[in-house]
Amino acid sequence: MSRNSDKINLIDQKAYSKLRDDKDTAPKNTPRSSKYKYKHRKPEQQTSLLDFVVKPRPKTQRQIKVRKLHKPHLTTTRNNYIQGIKRKGKTRLKPKKKITKLKRSVRCYRTVKKEESAVTEKKNDAAPKDCSKFPLKVYSVELQVERLSLIEPPTSIESSHAKEIHSIHSRRFRSYCDNCTRPRLKELVKHLLQELDRFQKRAFAKNEIKARAHPRMVLGFREAVARLRINKVKLLLLATDCESCPGEYGLDKTIESLKFQCQQEKVPYCFPLVRRELSHTLQKRAQISCVAILDCDGVNATYADLLKEIEDARAEYKLRTAL
């Protein structure tokens, strides 16, 4: 058989019909315009409203982080942070409140003072027979006085720092203060506290865990003493009208020990405002007696001016008390 034979072009009927059917069912080139986009579909595959629904893309980690940063300020609080977290260990139905030695001594001194004033009033107003109605109260007062050691002589720290009461001293400006309260000093302290409070609230709104780890300032004697031990305090602010409370763990001895520690570690301290003014500046309900400033970034100029003003106010106090 030669190579140019026509027998090679012959195919059977079955193969021919198969090729013809495949040619008829071959996909046709459909127009790509939006008008004829879905014309080639079967009737059950025609367009519906679901074809026009836009599915949202899954958010990336970066988008979630940006959204958290753009939240409104002051939305995060401690209760929201703790809410929904199961605490480990045992929990009490009625948790006990921990009372510090300082608070306990202040409370005892207040009760002693109240009972003493009540007894003296009764003695002065009533007859001697009426005074026999209060033997238990007088006895309890004497016991509390002995327990608080209110009649103890002053220690070495108290005697070295104690000063005589001058005419400039009063209930609102007690004898432990060693600088004058000038208007410029008050203005600088208020500006410093307001700015640091604003920075701290902004940090709490962004990330509460980091803000609690690196606070700008702390309030109260206990927090101030704890930060002084680890040399974290840049400036200590004390109220000028703290309540008088003698004793081993009283307020008077606590303030004197704070002053002594600041002088030893060369930490600046001052007495600029009364308790109510400090709480009003920081927008707190309770009166504030002590503020320890830990970080002054952002208000360094105000901090430097405040240190100069403290030196001038202390020099003025020495001149006034020397007269």
Asked whether the predicted pLDDT for residue 91 surpasses 90, the reply is: no
Q: Label residues 20-45 b or e (16+ Cβ within 10 Å = b).
A: eeeeeeeeeeeeeeeeeeeeeeeeee
Asked whether the predicted pLDDT for residue 197 surpasses 90, the reply is: yes
pLDDT value, residue 59: 76
Q: Determine the distance from the C-alpha atom of residue 185 to the mean position of all C-alpha atoms in its chain, rounded to a whole number.
A: 25
**Strand partners for 291:** 219, 237
**Strand partners for 236:** 269, 292
Q: What pLDDT band is residue 186 in, cutting at 50, 70 and 90?
A: very high
Q: Say which residue the tokens 């001058």 belong to.
A: 166
> Counting Cβ atoms within 10 Å, is residue 220 exposed (0-12), middle (13-18) or buried (19+)?
middle
pLDDT value, residue 76: 45
User: Which candidate, 209, 195, 206, places its Cα nearest to that of 293?
Assistant: 195
pLDDT value, residue 119: 86
**Calpha distance 211→259 (Å, rounded):** 28
Mean pLDDT of the chain: 77
For range 197-222, the mean pLDDT: 93
Q: Name the residue type at position 215.
A: P
Domain boundaries, the chain: 101-148, 163-322
For range 250-273, the mean pLDDT: 92
What are the pLDDT digits (tens) for 4-28?
555 555 667 777 777 777 766 655 5
Asked whether the predicted pLDDT for residue 165 surpasses 70, the reply is: no
Asked whether the predicted pLDDT for residue 44 surpasses 80, the reply is: no
**Calpha distance 200→215 (Å, rounded):** 7
- Compute CA distances 139 → 30, 125, 148, 249, 266, whole Å: 109, 20, 14, 22, 46
Asked whether the predicted pLDDT for residue 164 surpasses 80, the reply is: no
CATH architecture of 163-322: 2-Layer Sandwich (3.30)
pLDDT value, residue 198: 94
pLDDT value, residue 7: 54
Query: What's the chain's Rg over C-alpha atoms?
Result: 40
pLDDT value, residue 219: 94
Of 101-115, 153-167, 272-286, 290-304, the range with the lowest mean pLDDT is 153-167
pTM above 0.75, yes or no: no
Asked whether the predicted pLDDT for residue 128 surpasses 80, the reply is: no
Asked whether the predicted pLDDT for residue 190 surpasses 80, the reply is: yes
Asked whether the predicted pLDDT for residue 142 surpasses 50, the reply is: no
- Sign of torsion over alpha carbons 40, 45, 49, 52: negative
Q: Which residue has the higher pLDDT, 219 or 93?
A: 219
Q: What pLDDT band is residue 146 in, cutting at 50, 70 and 90?
A: very low
**Can you read off the two tokens belonging to residue 68?**
């958290």
